[in-house]
Amino acid sequence: MSLHQFITNILNIKPEQIQDLLTLNQSDGSMVIKIRLVDAHCICPYCNGQTHIHGYYPRKLTHSTFINRACTILYLQRRYRCNTCQITFNEPNPFTHSHESITHETKINILQDLKHPEITYTLAAKRNYVSKAMVLRIFDRHVHIARKPLPKVLSLDEHYLPDSDYESLYCCLLMDFVTGVIIDVLPDRKKSYLLYYLSHIKHETYSYETHTSELDRIQYVSIDMSESFRSVFQSYCPKAIICADSFHVLQHLTKDFNAVRLKCRRETPDPVLAYLLMKFKVVLNHNVQLDNVARYNKRLKRYINLRGIQTVLFKHFPELKKAYELKEEYIAFNETASFENAGRKLDALILKFADSQIREYDEFCIVLSNWKQEIVNSFTVVNGRRINNSHIESKNRQVQRLLNNANGFRNFKRTRNRILYCLNKEDTYTF
């Protein structure tokens, strides 16, 4: 490829459009391309009259087409004057709009960079040889992502976002359980906001012929056990079946079980047992390989494997053993029950938790009773998968990465657009 061809490629123009072309390699490694286009003999856009060349205006355009190399186009833009109405106007050009200092291609490169959650606005600016303010301006101008239609199965989850310009510590992610597409991001998870949001959708999409709105599409809603989510959906989508996300139920259980372990540690006078409860808490986890090769433990002064340690702990702390067994029983129930038998099994489990007299489980017991129907509902299978938010949790991790990389997301509107833009493959910029 000749240099001339190479240059016309990076400028996205045809060789026959070029009148003059000069490439300069600067001492700092950057590249300057001086260019003048062929006279197109434009006619007046206002009166169709004949024109003459009025002059040339040099324009300096950032053209970030290379990685690791700044590139500037010095474009001598021709200006015409109409012979009839005397109006002056610019020749059309393939690089940019009037009054802008960067090329279309640079904008597209910036917008494509921002599609990756790990690329910050600052990094995109650096990669494309423009200022961060410019990157933000381009993003705000070209990325506006509308809410998607509400899906059949809606997952709802919250995300810690303390620095936004809304009076709220959490934002709320709405996702299509079946496709994994993010429907929308809300600035607040509070009941008043959700009520406003849903009523707005209802009024906007209500049909007086069918007496339905878009909200009637929702057949299932998967939520964490938040009372406000439940009551809002009960009033706005009365036909939707509400499911308690199993991940959050297990999270609650794990937290309470951990409290039992910590109580044992606090109350034991034996420093070796206290040490085992901290150092080997892994033996109390679910699905741990306990039958490993025994290793010498200095504090116990003998060879012991993880199962041995578990046995020691259970012997000294019968309540911990009981709490562990209940926890494991709930996990087994969660993994194996079906929609048909979950209600009966859950009733039996609630009784066992209540009978255990473990104070740390009191609250969990209340939660299970309070959310019984929603937990049973969560055993519903749609498209071969049990309804849960694990999908959205993985999206949440991507959001977390996005937010960690951004030095403060104060502007919620921008944050929302960025989350949708990065996490939904199909969402794109507009020109």
Using the rule CB under 5 A, which residue among 9, 12, 25, 84 binds Zn ion?
Answer: 84
Using the rule CB under 5 A, which residue among 85, 278, 348, 366 binds Zn ion?
Answer: 85
Cα–Cα distance between 139 and 10 in angstroms, integer? 23
Measured from the CB atom, the residue of 86 and 234 that comes closer to Zn ion is 86
Cα–Cα distance between 185 and 430 in angstroms, integer? 20
Measured from the CB atom, the residue of 49 and 343 that comes closer to Zn ion is 49
Q: What is the largest CA-CA distance in the chain?
A: 104
Three-class secondary structure of residue 244 per DSSP: strand
Measured from the CB atom, the residue of 45 and 58 that comes closer to Zn ion is 45
Cα–Cα distance between 64 and 424 in angstroms, integer? 26
When asked if residue 348 is in the footprint of Zn ion (CB under 5 A), the reply is: no
When asked if residue 351 is in the footprint of Zn ion (CB under 5 A), the reply is: no
Of 6-14, 37-45, 156-164, 382-390, the segment contacting Zn ion by CB under 5 A is 37-45
For the segment 251-280, give every residue that binds Zn ion (CB under 5 A). Answer: none
For the segment 187-226, give every residue that binds Zn ion (CB under 5 A). Answer: none
Using the rule CB under 5 A, which residue among 13, 36, 42, 49 binds Zn ion?
Answer: 49
Is residue 276 a contact partner of residue 313, using CB atoms and an 8 Å limit?
yes
Least distance between Zn ion and beta carbon 93 (Å): 20
Give the single-character DSSP code of 144: -
Of 44-52, 115-123, 271-279, 297-305, the segment contacting Zn ion by CB under 5 A is 44-52
Of 64-72, 74-82, 139-147, 225-233, the segment contacting Zn ion by CB under 5 A is 74-82
Of 85-93, 231-239, 336-344, 382-390, the segment contacting Zn ion by CB under 5 A is 85-93
Alpha carbon 365 to chain centroid, angstroms:
33
Q: Tell me the CA distances in angstroms from 161 to 14, 147, 156, 357, 361, one per residue in order.
A: 48, 20, 16, 38, 30
Cα–Cα distance between 292 and 417 in angstroms, integer? 49
Least distance between Zn ion and beta carbon 98 (Å): 18
Least distance between Zn ion and beta carbon 97 (Å): 22
Query: Facing residues of 90 across strands?
Result: 79
Is residue 183 a contact partner of residue 154, using CB atoms and an 8 Å limit?
yes
When asked if residue 82 is in the footprint of Zn ion (CB under 5 A), the reply is: yes
Query: Facing residues of 60 across strands?
Result: 74
Measured from the CB atom, the residue of 38 and 43 that comes closer to Zn ion is 43
Using the rule CB under 5 A, which residue among 11, 33, 37, 44 binds Zn ion?
Answer: 44
Phi, psi of 36 (to 5 degrees): -130, 135
Measured from the CB atom, the residue of 47 and 282 that comes closer to Zn ion is 47
Q: Tell me the CA distances in angstroms from 39 to 4, 23, 51, 78, 395, one per residue in order.
A: 19, 20, 12, 8, 52
Alpha carbon 66 to chain centroid, angstroms:
29
Least distance between Zn ion and beta carbon 113 (Å): 42
Cα–Cα distance between 244 and 368 in angstroms, integer? 10
Q: Which two tokens stand for residue 317?
A: 């702390």
Give the H/E segment covering residue 52: strand 51-62
Of 39-47, 168-176, 234-242, 287-295, the segment contacting Zn ion by CB under 5 A is 39-47
Least distance between Zn ion and beta carbon 44 (Å): 3
DSSP letter for each residue of 212-252: B-GGGG--EEEE-S-HHHHHHHHHH-TTSEEEE-HHHHHHH
Of 9-17, 80-88, 241-249, 265-273, the segment contacting Zn ion by CB under 5 A is 80-88
Measured from the CB atom, the residue of 84 and 234 that comes closer to Zn ion is 84
Number of residues that bind Zn ion (CB under 5 A): 7
Site residues for Zn ion per CB under 5 A: 44, 46-47, 49, 82, 84-85
